[in-house]
Structure 1
Amino acid sequence: MQRISIFGYGITTKPIVNFLNNQGILCNIFDDKFSRNSTDERGNFLLPSGAFKPQDSAYQSTMEILSPGIPPSHPLIQNAKNLISEYDYFYGLFSAGYSPKSIWISGTNGKTTTTEMLTLLLGKFGAKSGGNIGTPLAELYTQKSHLWVLETSSFSLHYTHKAFPNLYLLLPVKQDHIDWHGSFEAYICDKLKPLLLMPKDTFAILPYEFHTRPEVKEFLGKAFFYKDSFDLAQQIGVPLEAVGFGEPFLLDALLALQACKLLFGIIDVDLLGTFQVGAHRIEEFHDKAGRLWVDDSKGTNVDATLEALKRYQNKKIFLILGGDDKGADQQPIFELAKNLDIEIFAIGSNEKKLLGLAKDFGIAIHSCGELEKAVKKIKDSLGLDGVGLLSPAAASLDQFVSYKERGELFQQYALNE
């Protein structure tokens, strides 16, 4: 019986295993969390990563589909012989009988919001969201969805070599995941990689700063560039005030409108106005004393935090900063902070780095270590003219299960009497 190897057993790959099993294909599933060889109820092998040896006839496979978060340096990737991304696998199943249109949304921040906005706007065309959010690709394929709107990470793009979208929408690209990609330039290259795979009769919406890149010059489709929200609004032909969102969501909204205009010739500002921004992204709430708090736990990189700071630059800001910054340069935050009325409350694994930067820039900072302590300290000083802002510019996994847990705990601590 044919077997396919699966690298990593999580949210992305579990639906793939189920899909393959339903086709009569058993899987060799390799994951760091498995400590011994075993099987599941359907006969799939559950194996430690170290058990993957392509020359071992017991676990040989003709294909290895991976969870995109596994870095290129991992031994599974280094030893793979027939590695394929989830995108390439399912796009390879397309045929004359079923070949849906697709939109890929990537960039550093705003991917989820833009993907959800586009899915709302294009619902009448059969759009369903997938990729990092929404419906797994295996289910999109099984359901024969007409239009795939995929939030697409740089990890997925790195491992994809054949699949391509009908429209590629790229939000601004800032420093992120440097430890995974190795450099900012490598990160940019992966973000622009789809352009090299897309044929004629495709579209791309790109930040203007990339208009001279070699990937853009080799792109066979039609590219549209934007500098900022004002520039986009002029291209689309809608006044900024009609869109009804503040930054950074204004840019997301305009990009969604631009994509709809390019693919279907529609601009539905009224429908877009019904969209509700998701939790933990500049989510405002007030405590019983009427003081403003903002949960921006999803602000996991420097650019996201810069946008949050700009939004509240006219207030006294009490900023909770820190976590696993994955090697990103935190200095831009302090360069902006020196012009603001701000105090920083440092937590997480990069706290020592933050304390050093605050000293260099002469910015008030408090060493808190943990989120609860930071919130308690802020409560001692926060007034009605200020804002208690969690925008950590770092991932959460050094202290929390996820950014969601971090945000929920922040709200709980802020609202506790």
Structure 2
Amino acid sequence: MDGLNLDDLNLKRSNVKGKRITVVGAGISGRELALMAKRLGARVFVSEAGLVSTAASDLFGRSGIDWEGEGHTERAFQADALLLSSGIPPSAEVVQGARRRGIPLIGELDLVAPHIRGKLVAVTGSNGKSTVTSLIGHMLRRAGWEVGVGGNLGTAASTFTDRDFDAVVLELSSFQLARASVLSAAVSVVTNLAPDHIDWHGSYEAYVEAKARVLSLRAPSGWGIVQDRDVEALGAAGAERLLTLSWSRTPVHRMAGHIFMDADRACLMWDGTERTLFRYSETSLLGGHNRENVAMSLAVLRILGVDLPARVLMEGFAPLPHRCEHAGAVDGVVYVDDSKGTNVAASVTAMTSLEGRKIVILGGRGKGEDYAPLAEAVVREADAAVLLGEERDAVADALRKAGFSAIRMAEDMEEAVLTARELARPGMTVLLSPACTSWDMYANYGERGDHFRSIVRGLKVGP
């Protein structure tokens, strides 16, 4: 936490009228926060460490908002409070500078949450949160609700404060939650926990603590949904109004209800009754982890009082790009794009959730993670691994330590796909799930996944 001190300025309920507010960051969330603070009557200044885009500077000009780029000058600290956009780390010099000067820091959610008009569904987790957020929004719309969907997913949370909704579904990052003290969620979901963003939080324990805030910041009558295996880590063992999910009919933790992943369907045991949430045949999403995502999403709708059949609610929902997405099939080999698998846990989940033997493409720019769990999954699930990017030697070392020798190196994605094709036999899957970021070779994971898919589309069917 950044040591929030809101009460000094009566900002706890977003009372910023007449205050001098410096918004730190001119990205998507920073721009929208600046516009919201301006609407609330604050005197707004935007300070950005890097370059300010032409679109952002034009927007600020039209809105009467002063700004600076390429560094934080003393003007950034001539403020009653600093409003931090979601990606600003606690170690940033501008944050440290505010602390030294005794200037209060406000997180994004503390400004936004009191102004959201509608039932708030808050979704976080290490993996799967984008799919769950999007699916909940899709199903609520199918049920006839007026819904806003966004947050860390792309549409800034502050854009949902200017009109009434039946529900607002927000994907919340650990960065946003670490600074949150005001939320009041009707339903809070933690999809799962695994190490991620340790460099930002300083430790895995601090990362989990941030995620757990989504449960402690529920409304008085709010519900929570978590994995049964994560209850202890989240400090939720004694929590009320909590549903847990596991692949065992008998959960470790006896809470208010349980989501059970059976052989062919997901069941909800709640209020003394058992009912089928959905059958696995009713979704096109690939993998056991996506079945969990669907089950959690449908449980949210049951909590909110929506009782339509799952097939009706899910109709028309397409998998989000680059998340275990079918990319093609050539000569009996299926190609799967999981470019969004940018950490070890995500790639392990993708490998273990997809059926059959695999050729896996790994590597990119690392996050300082231990690759031993990745290597263990490769040993169990894959016949070969094709490695590329900055981390390929580090991944190769972990694989060899695990006793895995079927390793091929590639200079670029095209070579990686062609090598994987040589190694794959009919009935197998070629899985791109790098366990690393894309920034050594691509602008983002989407560009990497698009390149993979274009190469797959260009593969010629064999004789």
Q: Contact 1:117–1:272 (CA<8 Å) still a contact in 2?
A: no
Q: How many residues align?
A: 406
Q: Which residue of 1 aligns with 2:373?
A: 332
Q: Which residue of 1 aligns with 2:261?
A: 230
Equivalent AA in structure 2 for residue 65 of structure 1: L
The partner residue of 1:153 within 151, 173, 183 is: 173
Q: 1:309 to 1:91 in 2, by over 3 A?
A: closer
Which segment drifts farther, 380-389 or 151-160? 380-389
Task: Report 1:139-288 matches (<5 A).
Answer: 139-212=159-232, 215-216=235-236, 219=239, 221-228=240-247, 229-230=260-261, 233-235=267-269, 237-238=275-276, 240-241=279-280, 243-244=282-283, 245=285, 246-264=287-305, 266-274=307-315, 275-286=317-328
Q: Contact 2:33–2:85 (CA<8 Å) still a contact in 1?
A: no
Question: How much has 1:398 moved relative to structure 2?
Answer: 2.7
Q: Contact 1:345–1:367 (CA<8 Å) still a contact in 2?
A: yes
* Pair 1:386-2:428 in alignment: yes
Which segment drifts farther, 260-269 or 82-91? 260-269
Q: 1:380 to 1:192 in 2, by over 3 A?
A: same
The alignment's TM-score, normalised by the length of structure 2, stands at 0.80
Question: How much has 1:206 moved relative to structure 2?
Answer: 1.6
Q: Which residue of 2 aligns with 1:126?
A: 146
Q: 1:143 to 1:326 in 2, by over 3 A?
A: same
Distance in 2 separating the partners of 1:79 and 1:375: 48
Equivalent AA in structure 1 for residue 245 of structure 2: Y
Distance in 2 separating the partners of 1:241 and 1:294: 19
Q: 1:46 to 1:214 in 2, by over 3 A?
A: closer
* Pair 1:116-2:154 in alignment: no
Q: 1:213 to 1:321 in 2, by over 3 A?
A: closer
**Which SS does the other structure have where 1:12 is aligned?**
helix
Unaligned 5+ runs, structure 1? none
Q: 1:31 to 1:218 in 2, by over 3 A?
A: farther
Distance in 2 separating the partners of 1:140 and 1:179: 30
The alignment's TM-score, normalised by the length of structure 1, stands at 0.88
Q: Which residue of 1 aligns with 2:31?
A: 14
Q: Contact 1:206–1:225 (CA<8 Å) still a contact in 2?
A: yes
Q: Deviations over 1:217-249 (max 9, x none)?
A: 575x52222223517524261064464354221
Question: How much has 1:47 moved relative to structure 2?
Answer: 2.2
Q: Which residue of 2 aligns with 1:106?
A: 124
Distance in 2 separating the partners of 1:191 and 1:59: 30
**Which SS does the other structure have where 1:114 is aligned?**
helix
Question: How much has 1:50 moved relative to structure 2?
Answer: 4.1
Question: How much has 1:155 moved relative to structure 2?
Answer: 1.0
Q: Which residue of 2 aligns with 1:89?
A: 111
Task: Report 1:262-411 matches (<5 A).
Answer: 262-264=303-305, 266-274=307-315, 275-286=317-328, 289=331, 291-315=333-357, 317-363=358-404, 364-411=406-453
Which segment drifts farther, 70-79 or 41-50? 41-50
**Which SS does the other structure have where 2:307 is aligned?**
coil
Equivalent AA in structure 2 for residue 188 of structure 1: V
Equivalent AA in structure 2 for residue 19 of structure 1: M
Distance in 2 separating the partners of 1:336 and 1:120: 33
Distance in 2 separating the partners of 1:330 and 1:164: 38
Question: How much has 1:139 moved relative to structure 2?
Answer: 2.1
Q: 1:347 to 1:45 in 2, by over 3 A?
A: farther
**Which SS does the other structure have where 2:347 is aligned?**
helix
Equivalent AA in structure 1 for residue 106 of structure 2: I
Q: Which residue of 1 aligns with 2:65?
A: 44
Q: Contact 1:230–1:240 (CA<8 Å) still a contact in 2?
A: no
Q: Contact 1:243–1:250 (CA<8 Å) still a contact in 2?
A: no
**Which SS does the other structure have where 2:183 is aligned?**
coil
**Which SS does the other structure have where 1:233 is aligned?**
strand
Q: 1:18 to 1:341 in 2, by over 3 A?
A: closer
Question: How much has 1:290 moved relative to structure 2?
Answer: 5.2
Distance in 2 separating the partners of 1:341 and 1:288: 19
Equivalent AA in structure 1 for residue 294 of structure 2: A
Distance in 2 separating the partners of 1:134 and 1:34: 20
Q: Percent identity among equivalent residues?
A: 27
Distance in 1 separating the partners of 2:402 and 2:341: 22
Unaligned 5+ runs, structure 2? 1-17, 248-259
